[in-house]
């Protein structure tokens, strides 16, 4: 059984990460992780960077970015290096749809249960049912929902799973690693490592609870 890791960050594109590119490659090779969706916060790795990484470490890297909007964070798979993304959620999803990118709503309920400033909370009314949460417009437009994030609480992940199942969307998991200790914390088992972006998206479109466990 092979594995891929769908959500993590390095110092090469995320100011809040302490992971160097070489450290990521070494650790992923040690874990025998076959593919990485490196979702930096402010840039997409270039084709040259991905090719060098793959040649040195034997680990495939797929182009992506974690876009921040007024509704939260979205993993945009297939994004191009140098591309900028709107901070308005509707505009972002309009853009990604037009470009035929695959979009995952990352950790949608992080801090949902916390008593913190509204600027740090997700865009949902507190205390409503999962069915009502699933009615948020962005949920209807994304391609998949991250239902298990290693940086979330069990309660946050459980709510994401419940909403994802209500919607019948593909379900994904991710380590969301920002430090070396958490690389590999949550990986997806796969029969074979996707050779490129098309195969990766085809795999993601078929994910369900049974396939991510």
**What is the tens place of the pLDDT at every residue in 114-154?**
987 776 789 999 899 999 999 999 999 999 999 999 999 99
Among residues 16, 55, 9, 68, which one has the least CA distance to residue 36?
A: 9
**How long a stretch of residues is the chain?**
213
Residue corresponding to tokens 């920002």: 178
Q: What is the pTM of this model?
A: 0.97
Any idea where the domains of the chain sit in the sequence? 2-212
- Once rounded to an integer, what is the mean pLDDT over residues 175-185? 98
144-149 and 35-38 strand pairing: unpaired
Cα 161 to Cα 15: distance, rounded to the nearest angstrom: 29
- Place 209 in a pLDDT band, splitting at 50, 70 and 90: confident
CATH topology of domain 2-212: TIM Barrel (3.20.20)
pLDDT tens-digit profile of 40-91? 999 999 999 999 999 999 999 999 999 999 999 999 999 999 999 999 999 9
Among residues 106, 83, 139, 91, which one has the least CA distance to residue 37?
A: 106
């Amino acid at each position: 059984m092979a594995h891929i890791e769908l959500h993590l960050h390095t110092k090469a594109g995320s100011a809040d990460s302490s992971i160097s590119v070489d450290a990521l490659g070494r650790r992923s090779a040690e874990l025998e992780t076959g593919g990485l969706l490196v979702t930096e916060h402010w840039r997409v790795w270039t084709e040259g960077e991905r090719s060098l990484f793959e040649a040195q470490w034997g680990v495939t890297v797929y182009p992506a970015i974690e876009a921040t909007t007024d509704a939260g964070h979205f993993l945009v798979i297939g994004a191009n290096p140098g591309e900028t993304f709107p901070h308005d959620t509707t505009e972002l999803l309009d853009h990604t749809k037009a470009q035929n990118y695959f979009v995952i709503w990352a950790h949608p309920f992080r801090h949902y249960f916390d008593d913190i400033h509204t600027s740090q909370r997700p865009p949902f009314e507190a205390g409503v049912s999962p069915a009502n949460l699933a009615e948020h417009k962005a949920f209807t437009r994304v391609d998949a929902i991250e239902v298990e994030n290693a940086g979330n609480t069990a309660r946050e992940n459980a709510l994401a799973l419940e909403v994802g199942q209500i919607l019948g969307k593909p379900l994904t998991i991710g380590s969301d690693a920002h430090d070396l200790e958490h690389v590999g914390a949550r990986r997806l088992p796969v029969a074979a490592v996707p050779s490129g972006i098309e195969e990766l998206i085809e795999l993601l479109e078929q994910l369900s609870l049974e396939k991510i466990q």
